[in-house]
C-alpha cells in the first residue's frame, strides 16, 4: 500500500507526558499537512510543509506543539506536556503541487490520542 | 476568518432515496472546494471543484459549485447503506490552507 501512513494508530498517555507521532506521506507528494479532529467536528488545520519548509502554522498550534519534516520526507508532530484538551484524532494528509494547481489531499488513518 | 458551513448536520434516509448536501463558505482568495467521505477512519476524496456550473459525476454521486452564491451541493441518488458516512466539505485558499466544515452525518437505513 503506497498511501499515507501514520504511526502509532492509538496512543494513551498520562497528562503532562510528551508524545510524538509520525507520518509517512505518499512518496512523490511535496506537501504534507497535519490536522486535529474531535468528535462531531471536521478536521482543523494545524500546520503544513512544502518539502522540508514549514510554511504555515495555525493559531491552534500552541508552543507545546512542534512539527518537523526533515529532508522533506516523513514528518513528526510532537506535543509536550500534554493536556486533557489534546485528546483527539491527529490526521496527516499529503498532496502534490506542481505549481499548476494543488491536487487533492490524501489522508492517513490518523493517530488517536487519549490523555488520562 | 475563513469559514465553511454545512447543512444539514445530520440526515436519515431510506435506501433508494436521493439526498442533497449543502456547503457554503466565506473564504478569502478562494482556490478550490473539495468533498470528502469519512467513514471510520481517514477522509477519502470525492470531488475537487474549481469552476462554477460544471458538474462533476462519479457513479451515483455528483457535485457542482456556485462561486456567485459561495456554495456547493453534493447529490447522491439511489442511496445505499454503504453511503452512510460523514460527508466533509473543505475549501482551499491561495494561502494553501484547507478549511473544513463540520460535516453532514448521513445514515441510510435498509
pLDDT at A98: 73
Tell if the CB–CB gap between B42 and A108 is shorter than 8 Å: yes
Percentage of chain B lying above the pLDDT 90 cut: 84
Nearest to B101 among A4, A42, A108 (CB): A42
Higher per-residue pLDDT: A56 or B11: B11
CA distance B12 to B61: 17
Assess B56–A contact: CB distance below 8 Å, yes or no. Answer: no
pLDDT score of B20 more than 60: yes
- Residue B89 clears pLDDT 60, i.e. is over it: yes
Interchain proximity A45–B99, CB inside 8 Å: yes
Report which of B64, B62, B60 is spatially closest to residue B79, judged by C-alpha positions: B60
Q: Residue A24: how many CB atoms within 10 A of its CB?
A: 18
Find the closest chain B residue to A107 by CA distance. B42
The reply to whether residue B42 touches residue A40, judged by beta carbons under 8 angstroms, is no
Q: CB atoms < 10 A from the CB of B81, how many? A: 11
Burial of residue B40, with CB atoms counted within 10 A of its CB: 0-12 exposed, 13-18 middle, 19 or more buried:
exposed
**Given a cut of 70, is residue A1 above it in pLDDT?**
no
Q: Report the half-sphere exposure of B29 (CA within 13 A, side-chain side).
A: 7
Verify whether the Cβ–Cβ distance B92 to A102 is below 8 Å: yes
Res A102: pLDDT: 66
For residue A110, give how far its alpha carbon lies from the nearest alpha carbon of chain B (Å): 7
CB of B100 less than 8 A from some CB of A: yes
Amino acid at each position: 500500500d503506497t498511501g499515507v501512513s501514520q504511526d502509532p494508530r492509538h496512543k494513551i498517555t498520562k497528562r503532562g507526558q510528551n508524545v510524538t507521532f509520525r507520518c509517512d506521506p505518499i512518496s512523490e507528494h511535496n506537501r504534507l499537512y497535519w490536522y486535529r479532529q474531535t468528535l462531531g467536528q471536521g478536521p482543523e488545520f494545524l500546520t503544513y510543509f512544502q518539502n522540508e519548509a514549514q510554511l504555515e502554522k495555525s493559531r491552534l498550534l500552541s508552543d507545546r506543539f512542534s512539527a518537523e519534516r526533515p529532508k522533506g520526507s516523513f514528518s513528526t508532530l510532537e506535543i509536550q506536556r500534554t493536556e486533557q484538551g489534546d485528546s483527539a484524532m491527529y490526521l496527516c494528509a499529503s498532496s502534490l503541487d506542481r505549481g499548476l494547481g494543488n491536487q487533492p489531499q490524501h489522508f492517513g488513518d490518523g493517530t488517536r490520542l487519549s490523555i488520562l | 476568518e475563513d469559514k465553511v458551513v454545512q447543512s444539514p448536520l445530520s440526515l436519515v434516509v431510506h435506501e433508494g432515496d436521493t439526498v442533497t448536501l449543502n456547503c457554503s463558505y466565506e473564504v478569502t482568495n478562494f482556490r478550490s472546494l473539495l468533498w470528502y467521505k469519512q467513514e471510520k477512519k481517514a477522509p477519502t476524496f470525492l470531488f475537487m471543484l474549481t469552476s462554477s456550473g460544471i458538474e462533476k459525476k462519479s457513479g451515483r454521486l455528483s457535485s457542482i459549485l456556485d462561486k456567485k452564491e459561495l456554495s456547493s451541493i453534493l447529490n447522491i441518488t439511489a442511496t445505499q447503506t454503504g453511503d452512510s458516512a460523514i460527508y466533509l466539505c473543505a475549501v482551499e485558499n491561495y494561502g494553501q490552507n484547507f478549511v473544513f466544515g463540520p460535516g453532514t452525518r448521513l445514515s441510510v437505513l435498509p
